[in-house]
């Protein structure tokens, strides 16, 4: 009986301690859970801060991109300036004349004419002489003063559209012409414009005189 009583007393006392331990464990678990929740909250705050920093970084990147665009615009302006410079360079080369053309501007082209050959009028299939009078007020020009003549009609052509002199002295006036032929299919009433240009041999001089004359196929 004594042993049974002691066992029951011990069981009662030990059971009470176990309950206390259980309560302590529960409190520890609750504290751990609270700390875990706090840790989760801190982690969330850290994530938010990181996200905010990333957004700020993105904004900075956008600003940097804008700077890059400004740089590109500056580059475009530079290209435009280079293009303008090239144009100025090309314009400066227009003063260079072909050989023999220097001084040819003293010669005038006077009295341009279209004259039928062997007929009273220019008929389809017929020929005409086209030319002008070269007049030189001086000084002498001895680099083969010439004319080159063009027609604006495909069926009015010349086998030799240029003609030359050896030279023309100061005070001289010399007529010079070439021959053009009209195809037989050119209709009567067709007007043909001839352009006569000063040249040296067969090289047209950009500083030389130019004159136009119109002939009509009858």
Q: List, for residues 8-43, the tens digit of each pLDDT value.
A: 334 444 444 434 333 433 343 344 333 434 444 344
Q: Which two tokens stand for residue 80?
A: 């435009």
- N residues, the chain: 218
Q: Which two tokens stand for residue 1?
A: 């009986």
On the question of pLDDT at 123 being above 70, the answer is yes
pLDDT value, residue 2: 41
| Extents of the domains making up the chain | 2-93, 104-216
pLDDT value, residue 39: 40
pLDDT value, residue 95: 75
Give 154-178 pLDDT, tens digit per residue: 999 999 999 999 999 999 999 999 9
pTM over 0.75: no
Give 167-212 pLDDT, tens digit per residue: 999 999 999 999 999 999 999 999 999 999 999 999 999 999 999 9
Q: Using CA of residue 109, residue 115, residue 117, residue 118, what is the dihedral sign?
A: negative
The upper half-sphere exposure of residue 214, i.e. CA atoms within 13 Å in the direction of its Cβ, equals 5
CB atoms near residue 59 (< 10 Å)? 10
pLDDT value, residue 10: 41
Of 196, 200, 191, 199, give the one whose Cα is nearest residue 210: 196
Q: What is the CA radius of gyration of the chain?
A: 53
Region 50-67 average pLDDT: 38
Q: Report the distance separating Cα 212 and Cα 113, nearest Å.
A: 9
Q: Are 108 and 132 in contact (CB under 8 A)?
A: no
Looking at domain 104-216, its CATH architecture is: Sandwich (2.60)
On the question of pLDDT at 114 being above 80, the answer is yes
The upper half-sphere exposure of residue 26, i.e. CA atoms within 13 Å in the direction of its Cβ, equals 6
Q: Are 214 and 114 in contact (CB under 8 A)?
A: yes
On the question of pLDDT at 60 being above 90, the answer is no
């Amino acid at each position: 009986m004594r042993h049974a009583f002691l066992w029951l007393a011990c069981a009662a006392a030990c059971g009470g301690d176990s309950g206390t331990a259980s309560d302590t464990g529960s409190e520890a678990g609750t504290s751990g859970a609270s700390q875990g929740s706090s840790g989760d909250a801190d982690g969330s705050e850290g994530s938010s801060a990181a996200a905010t920093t990333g957004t700020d970084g993105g904004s900075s990147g956008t600003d940097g991109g804008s700077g890059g665009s400004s740089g590109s615009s500056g580059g475009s302006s530079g290209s435009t300036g280079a293009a303008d410079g090239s144009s100025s360079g090309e314009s400066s080369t227009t003063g260079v004349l072909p050989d023999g053309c220097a001084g040819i501007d003293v010669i005038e082209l006077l009295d341009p004419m279209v004259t039928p050959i062997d007929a009273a009028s220019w008929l389809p299939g017929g020929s005409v002489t086209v030319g002008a009078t070269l007049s030189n007020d001086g000084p002498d020009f001895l680099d083969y003063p010439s004319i080159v003549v063009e027609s604006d009609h495909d069926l009015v052509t010349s086998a030799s559209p240029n003609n030359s002199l050896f030279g023309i002295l100061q005070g001289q006036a010399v007529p010079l012409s070439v021959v053009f032929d009209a195809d037989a299919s050119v209709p009567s009433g067709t007007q043909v414009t001839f352009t006569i240009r000063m040249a040296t041999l067969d090289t047209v001089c950009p500083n030389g005189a130019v004159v136009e004359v119109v002939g009509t196929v009858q």
